[in-house]
Structure 1
Amino acid sequence: MIKRLNIYLKEMYPPFLRGSLSLILFFEIYFITLLSNHIVPKSIGIQEFVGVFTVFGFWLALRIADEFKDYETDKINFPSRALPSGRVTKKDLKVLLIIDYAIIIILNLVFMNNIIYFAALIIYGILMSLWFFAKKYIQPNLVLALITHNPVELILDYYVISFACIKYNLPVFTKTTLLICVTLYFPALAWEISRKIKAPEDENQYVTYSILFGYKKATMFVLLVILCEMITTNLLVYKIYINTSAYLISMLMIGILTIRYLWLVYNGLEFIKNPKKFKLGKRVEIYLYVTMLLVLVMEIVNLFIR
């Protein structure tokens, strides 16, 4: 079983890559929550790293749940993947899922201060894995699946936000925390849509947004989502740096973030002109990772200049 699970993780959920992303995402949200309230974190300890592992473990749980949910269609559309190909079994993944949930639940009960928000995250994740008890309506409807499943990213963001706010005696639900949440949600939404946009020649029986709406309209919607993210990101940068002596740094960050946005707009327009040139989802994924790193770097720089 261990050998089979190692094959699965290597192919479907590389621990080092996903662990690095979990670390970056957690501290991106954690620092931006504090800095937007003009608070410098006093210490980083075991709670923060339990939070990082919770992000990692929760993403893993969603990945495994998707294996079960999409098993029949994956046998047709992605037969070479670990589970459909038989290189890992459903029993293996059930054991991994139980261990994963057990670890993050125990760690949160012992160390974390935001159990209610953690419970909301876990309950929503379980409901997602069960198609909210409406599989026959949600599974064949890509838009309905997006509406019901994608908000889990918002709940995950609020899990981290709530930890930071409770630790530093801040209100959890404010205009600022809402701004943070939607700003971080937009790139995830853009990626979720873009990875299901294909060139007409590449379409098959796998339902995509490009089949439903056409690849041009679907791509323009992705660019609109990213425009919203660009606006809210700049608002956050302004809020973080207002009343500080780092005006020039804030202008530099806004400039860099704008260039990043223009790069994706250029790629989106290139994809519309020639959809066979590259996969849009890969470019949006790069945009997502670069955004996370840029914001985290901005936050760390801000900590040193305060």
Structure 2
Amino acid sequence: MIKRLNVYLKEMYPLLPRLILSLTLFFEIYMITLLSNHISSFRIGIQEFVGVFTVFGFWLALRIADELKDYETDKINFPKRPLPSGRVTKRDLWILLTIDYALMIFLNLVFMNNVLFFIVLLIYGVLMSLWFFAKKYIQPNLVLALITHNPVELILDYYIISFACIKYKLPVFTGTTLLICVTLYFPALAWEVSRKIKAPDDENQYVTYSKLFGYKKATMFVMLVIFCEMITTNILAYRLSIIMVIILTVRYFWLVYNCIEFIKSPKKFKLGKRVEVYLYITALLVLIMEILNLFVM
């Protein structure tokens, strides 16, 4: 089983890249929450790393849940993936999912101060795996699936924000925390849409946004989402450093350029991969600027 799970994780959830992304996202949100509330002195302990693991473990749980609930359609659309191809079994994934949930629940109950927010996150994740008890309506409707499933990223962001606020005795629900939450949600929304945009010649029976709306309109929607993200990001960044505003605006135009190039020549590259790079670069840049703001600026 361990060998089979190793194959699965290597292909579907590479541990080191996902751990680095979880670490980056957690501390990006954690630090910008503190800096936006004028707190420049903070303590990092076991709670922060439990938070990082929760982000990592929750993403893993969503990945496994998707494998299990989409098994029948994946046999048709993605037959070479580990589960549809038989290289990993459903039992293997259920065991991994059980261990993952058990660790998250234990660590959060023992160490974290925002258990209520964790419970909300957990419940929403479980409801997603059950299609909110409306599978026959949600599964065939890509837009409805996006509306019902994608907000989980907002809840995950607020899980991190709530931890930072409670630890430093800050109000959890304010205009600033809402702005932070929405700002970090936009890149996730852009990536979720862009990874289901294909060039016309690459379309198959798998339902994509490009098949529903055309690849040009779908790509323009991604540009609109990223434009909103640029506005909200720069509102937050302006409070910290004008240099951050300039840098973040430059990376926005880099993605706009890629979107335009994709519209001109959709066979040139996969848009989802470029948006994924944008997401990683954005998170890393913001984290670096936050650290510089704390210790240099």
- TM-score (norm. length: structure 2): 0.99
User: 1:305: how far off?
Assistant: 3.5
Structure 1: distance between partners of 2:118 and 2:124: 10
User: 1:40: how far off?
Assistant: 1.7
Give the stretch that moved more between structures: 40-49 or 216-225.
40-49
1:237 partner letter: A
Structure 2 counterpart of 1:145:
145
Structure 2 counterpart of 1:226:
226
Structure 1 counterpart of 2:54:
54
Say which SS state the counterpart of residue 83 (structure 1) adopts. Answer: helix
Structure 2 counterpart of 1:132:
132
Please tell me whether residue 285 in structure 1 is matched to residue 276 in structure 2.
Answer: yes
Q: How does 1:113-132 map to 2 (within 5 A)?
A: 113-132=113-132
1:291 partner letter: T
Q: How does 1:204-283 map to 2 (within 5 A)?
A: 204-239=204-239, 241=240, 250-283=241-274
Structure 2: distance between partners of 1:111 and 1:41: 21
Structure 2: distance between partners of 1:34 and 1:56: 22
- Percent identity over the alignment is 81
User: 1:48: how far off?
Assistant: 0.2
User: 1:41: how far off?
Assistant: 3.7
User: 1:252: how far off?
Assistant: 1.8
User: 1:114: how far off?
Assistant: 0.1
Structure 2: distance between partners of 1:238 and 1:253: 7
Structure 1: distance between partners of 2:41 and 2:190: 31
Say which SS state the counterpart of residue 84 (structure 2) adopts. Answer: coil
Structure 2: distance between partners of 1:180 and 1:156: 12
Say which SS state the counterpart of residue 113 (structure 2) adopts. Answer: coil
Q: How does 1:65-214 map to 2 (within 5 A)?
A: 65-214=65-214
How far does the alpha carbon of each residue in 1:26-76 deviate from its partner, in whole angstroms, 9 at most, with x for none?
000000000000102421000000000000000000000000111111111
Please tell me whether residue 294 in structure 1 is matched to residue 285 in structure 2.
Answer: yes
Structure 2: distance between partners of 1:229 and 1:182: 8
Structure 1 residue runs of 5 or longer lacking an equivalent are: 242-249
Asked whether the equivalents of residues 238 and 244 of structure 2 are also in contact (C-alpha less than 8 Å), the reply is: no
C-alpha root-mean-square deviation of aligned residues, in Å? 0.7
How many residues are paired up?
297
Structure 2: distance between partners of 1:255 and 1:100: 40
Structure 1: distance between partners of 2:133 and 2:120: 17
Structure 1: distance between partners of 2:242 and 2:24: 23
Structure 2: distance between partners of 1:285 and 1:66: 19
Structure 1: distance between partners of 2:49 and 2:242: 32
Structure 2: distance between partners of 1:77 and 1:136: 19
User: 1:152: how far off?
Assistant: 0.2
Structure 1: distance between partners of 2:172 and 2:195: 32
2:275 partner letter: V
Structure 2: distance between partners of 1:163 and 1:130: 27
User: 1:238: how far off?
Assistant: 1.6
Structure 1: distance between partners of 2:229 and 2:26: 18
Say which SS state the counterpart of residue 43 (structure 2) adopts. Answer: coil
Please tell me whether residue 303 in structure 1 is matched to residue 294 in structure 2.
Answer: yes
Structure 2 counterpart of 1:5:
5
User: 1:273: how far off?
Assistant: 0.7
Structure 2: distance between partners of 1:116 and 1:132: 20
Asked whether the equivalents of residues 183 and 233 of structure 2 are also in contact (C-alpha less than 8 Å), the reply is: yes
Structure 2: distance between partners of 1:69 and 1:42: 41
Structure 2: distance between partners of 1:37 and 1:50: 23
Runs of at least 4 residues of structure 1 off by over 2 A? none
Structure 1: distance between partners of 2:5 and 2:259: 37
